[in-house]
Chain A
Amino acid sequence: MSQKPEFVPITSSVSFYALQDDKFKSNRISIHFVLPLREETVSAYALVPMILSKGYRECPDFLSLSRKLESLYGGWIDAAIKKYGDLQILTLSAGGMDNTFALTGEDITGELCDMLCNAVFDPVLDENGYFPETTFRLEQQNLLDAIASMINDKRFYSVHRTVQEMYRGNAVGLNEYGTEEAVRALTPEKVTEAYRRMLAEAKVMIQFCGCGAPAPVREKMAARFADFRQAGSVAAAPLPDIDGREAQRITERLEVAQSKLVLGLRITPDYREKHTALRLMTMILGGTPSSLLFKQVREKQSLCYYCAARYYPSLGMITIDSGVEHEKAARAEAAILEQLSNMQKGRFTDREFEEARLAAINSYRTLGDALSSIDEYYWGRIMEGEIRTPEDMIALLSGVTRDDVIEAANQVTVDTVFLLTGQEGSK
């Protein structure tokens, strides 16, 4: 079974978490900068890790950086922008094959750690101390393309739009990349300023995960982050209260062959912390091929290829989404609502309850088998503020009763019904 990550504070605002497991063949190091998610700063912050991950003073362009990484057996440096409630998280990470497998004895992990730190602390700046115009323009376009391309994946786009509409007017509903207009209005000066603010104000969490020894990485990080002592703490604010309003209905039209129907369910504010019951309820409703939605909406009524429910603890919501024929969208919605109502009335069998619990336990047990999933799992726990192991989660799941699940189902309400459908009159 997987052990708990070792936690070592580097300074008052920098924490280091290490998980070593020698069954893996690689290592990954992530530096997370946690900042408030705000409309006025979201786009400038989003661009920062994208620029930093493309080169630093010793490796000033993407060509030299890529060649160095390829020579390190396909090592990588990556940027990610995520949100957690009303927080924006900028992540720079590096990873690659462990030193043990190097053909000529290279210190791959040490090199990658240095490269990652250089990307954070030693970026390429022009004579005025700003990110160079050319790098800025390329990454600005990259970010614009990323925002525009969200529409390519219609399922993802529809769920994203549902979240946005549920929390319209609130930081939680913001896209972690910001908007096209905001990205267009950026300049190298504004983004460099955001970079400096990130270094000055962010809370920093560093994660190491892999088969290599964490100590050398921790020492390098301790030296580079020694001066980081940001005052105050950055923690997600309670989610906004959207309780009590009428369900809203949003329809968007595109030339699509299949409609995407998404139901956004809000959770009663006082109940949002009951993660385990909510998670299990979502699994029974639509988390597995044995769930009510899969069995009834897909298998019995043949209305769709997929119909699934997903729980988003950091957003205090659940989504149910399905891809259906345009003219059957209303039938699918009615069928989904019927299953939700069945959950609320306790109309699910003991077997369905137990199978969902077993499926959840199985997925927790399997987490430790992949570096990326265990890394991502502990990242979620770090953000929640309590480092629970997968075994702790299994113990919690084991304590959930049918009544807890029925109670959880009665704490959710349809808030938003989003439909992406074809042009009027289209088949």
Chain B
Amino acid sequence: MKQTIVKNPRIGEQYYEIEHDSGLKVLCYPMERFQSAYALFGTRYGSIDRIFRDDPVKGFKTVPDGIAHYLEHKLFESEEGDAFGLFAKYGASANAFTSFDRTAYLFSCTEHFGDCLRALLNFVQSPYFTEENVEKERGIIGQEIRMYDDDPSWQVFFRLLGALYHTHPVKIDIAGTVDSIAKITPELLYDCYRSFYSLDQMALAIAGRFSVEEALSIVDELCLPKPPHFLEREVVKEPSSIVSAYASRSLDVALPLFQIGWKEPPCEGVDGLKAETEIMLLLSCMFGEGSKFYNDLRDDGLITAGLDLDAMWGRGYFLSMVGGESKDPKEVARRVAAQIARQKETGVEEADFQRVRRLLYGRAVLSFSRVSDVANSLLTSSFCDTGLFDRLEIIAAVTREDLIRRLKTSFLPERMALSAIYPKGKS
């Protein structure tokens, strides 16, 4: 077992990073003045992991879309009943989520931390799938899919992904479709479980009020070293071009919703975090509430509420986004494109740079205020192969020249797409 203490003098905080003998990465961030502890046990397995092989001499296999999410639901059920009950008896709350590239199981408690951690480590390592319990879940997940079918924000986002990506599975809905989940069987779930839930693929992130010693002794007890497990994910061949510059659909919404996105070159690790930070600074500079662009859009009645600025990345994908509600998404997109062209000409002014850097620095400091945020960031940074304090340090060290350089290679006009959801009858 190798233990490192990662410190940040800037905000005076620290955490423990442990390479456990089982292959599991354990991250502990004690926050003693807080009442609760929050733990996430996660694996690098999400909706994009649909083609893989677990034997070097066999071919790749494709599993049904939505299976990582289905597996997440089913792991919550053990032979004794559902896992929620294990936590309920300690008054703790439990949950789980599946994203593009990870699945995580979590609990939050104020008492019985050790019992809760034991329950978490146990149930995630005890799959129990039967014909009957897998069948029962189909109706529940079917309704979850239907719920998202009616969610305009979800729909506008996935239409954008479909417009940007040709083959990358990031464009496929995380829960799959009613048809794809119909093909999921207990055998397939066991197959995926064996491939993606080996401890060397996983991490345990804990923040809040708890004893690091106690946590590690429970990990020693319940996470046992196993022979290495072969896993190879298919590398997706995704061209740099986009599929279409425009995608739309109609739903029962009041105002059109839009999301404008740019397909950026994929990059990972600290490079990915640096790219994300610089892109967020540029987005804030060009389209944030302190930009002239935003205020012109507002004064001209094209937007009333704020714009959502975001950057998202993972294995083989990276995109920058501007979203919101507007009576005329196409006009907003036209102006956004023009603003980018202008900004590429003029570069970034020092005053704007200093302002948006402070904005992001403030946000980064405040991201260490909540137990749940810290635990989630720990897991994210572990799966992105970055350190928890890296973002803060990147913001502190970034220069105007870095932004100008990034501006040249990002936000390319030929890689921009607009996704819009229009009210019924107005598409």
A293-318 vs B, CB cutoff 8 Å, 1 = contact: the mask equals: 01000110011111000000000000
CA distance A254 to B150 in the complex (A): 11
CA distance A290 to B151 in the complex (A): 27
Min CB–CB distance A278 → chain B (angstroms): 20
The answer to whether A67 and B355 touch (CB under 8 A), given A288-B93, A323-B147, A362-B109, is: yes
Query: Is the CB of A366 closer than 8 A to any CB of chain B?
Result: yes
Residues of B within 8 A of A299 (CB): 82, 136, 140
Chain A residue at minimum C-beta to C-beta distance from B149 = A257
Chain A residue at minimum C-beta to C-beta distance from B252 = A254
Interface-lining segment among A33-41, A81-89, A353-361: A353-361
Taking a contact as CB atoms under 8 Å apart, the answer to whether B358 and A361 are in contact is no
Query: Is the CB of B320 closer than 8 A to any CB of chain A?
Result: no
Taking a contact as CB atoms under 8 Å apart, the answer to whether A145 and B304 are in contact is yes
Chain B residue at minimum C-beta to C-beta distance from A371 = B369
**Contact check: which of B84, B144, B359 meets A70 at CB < 8 Å?**
B359
Query: Is the CB of B424 closer than 8 A to any CB of chain A?
Result: yes
A344-356 vs B, CB cutoff 8 Å, 1 = contact: the mask equals: 0000000100110
Min CB–CB distance B418 → chain A (angstroms): 19
The answer to whether A26 and B88 touch (CB under 8 A), given A103-B361, A255-B252, A302-B137, is: no
Interface-lining segment among B235-243, B285-293, B342-350: B285-293
Taking a contact as CB atoms under 8 Å apart, the answer to whether A255 and B424 are in contact is yes
B348-363 vs A, CB cutoff 8 Å, 1 = contact: the mask equals: 0000001110111111
CA distance A362 to B38 in the complex (A): 12
Residues of B within 8 A of A141 (CB): 301, 304
Taking a contact as CB atoms under 8 Å apart, the answer to whether B363 and A152 are in contact is no
**Contact check: which of A74, A138, A323 meets B360 at CB < 8 Å?**
A74
The answer to whether A290 and B358 touch (CB under 8 A), given A369-B35, A371-B369, is: no
Query: Is the CB of B365 closer than 8 A to any CB of chain A?
Result: yes
CA distance A255 to B421 in the complex (A): 14
Query: Is the CB of B312 closer than 8 A to any CB of chain A?
Result: no
Taking a contact as CB atoms under 8 Å apart, the answer to whether B305 and A142 are in contact is yes
Chain A residue at minimum C-beta to C-beta distance from B175 = A305
CA distance A67 to B290 in the complex (A): 5
The answer to whether A258 and B150 touch (CB under 8 A), given A149-B255, A358-B89, is: yes
CA distance A303 to B288 in the complex (A): 43
Min CB–CB distance B182 → chain A (angstroms): 14
Taking a contact as CB atoms under 8 Å apart, the answer to whether A134 and B299 are in contact is yes
Taking a contact as CB atoms under 8 Å apart, the answer to whether A288 and B290 are in contact is no
Min CB–CB distance B236 → chain A (angstroms): 29
Chain B residue at minimum C-beta to C-beta distance from A295 = B82
Number of interface residues of B (CB under 8 A): 72
Chain B residue at minimum C-beta to C-beta distance from A302 = B139
A320-359 vs B, CB cutoff 8 Å, 1 = contact: the mask equals: 0001110000000000000000000000000100110111
The answer to whether A149 and B359 touch (CB under 8 A), given A258-B147, A369-B371, is: no
Residues of A within 8 A of B371 (CB): 369
Chain B residue at minimum C-beta to C-beta distance from A301 = B139
Residues of B within 8 A of A271 (CB): none
Residues of B within 8 A of A302 (CB): 136-140
Taking a contact as CB atoms under 8 Å apart, the answer to whether B359 and A73 are in contact is yes
B326-356 vs A, CB cutoff 8 Å, 1 = contact: the mask equals: 0000000000000000000000000000111
Min CB–CB distance B337 → chain A (angstroms): 22
Min CB–CB distance A92 → chain B (angstroms): 17
Residues of A within 8 A of B288 (CB): 66, 70
Query: Is the CB of B368 closer than 8 A to any CB of chain A?
Result: yes
Residues of B within 8 A of A357 (CB): 91
Query: Is the CB of B194 closer than 8 A to any CB of chain A?
Result: no
Query: Is the CB of B94 closer than 8 A to any CB of chain A?
Result: yes
Which residues of A from 89 to 109 have beta carbons under 8 Å from B? 96-97, 101, 103
Query: Is the CB of A402 closer than 8 A to any CB of chain B?
Result: no
**Contact check: which of A62, A151, A351 meets B289 at CB < 8 Å?**
A62
Which residues of A from 343 to 397 have beta carbons under 8 Å from B? 351, 354-355, 357-359, 361-363, 365-366, 368-371
Residues of B within 8 A of A8 (CB): none
Taking a contact as CB atoms under 8 Å apart, the answer to whether A359 and B88 are in contact is yes
Known interface pairs A69-B289, A73-B362, A258-B146; 13 further A-B residue pairs with C-beta atoms within 8 A, sorted by A's residue number = A23-B31, A26-B369, A66-B289, A70-B288, A70-B356, A70-B359, A134-B299, A255-B252, A256-B150, A258-B143, A325-B143, A363-B93, A369-B208
**Residues of chain A at the chain B interface (Cβ within 8 Å):** 1, 22-26, 61-63, 66-67, 69-75, 96-97, 101, 103, 134, 138, 141-142, 145-146, 148-155, 254-258, 288-290, 294, 298-299, 302-306, 323-325, 351, 354-355, 357-359, 361-363, 365-366, 368-371
A-B interface, 9 closest residue pairs, ranked by CB to CB distance from nearest: A358-B91, A73-B362, A302-B139, A148-B254, A74-B362, A23-B33, A289-B84, A66-B289, A257-B149
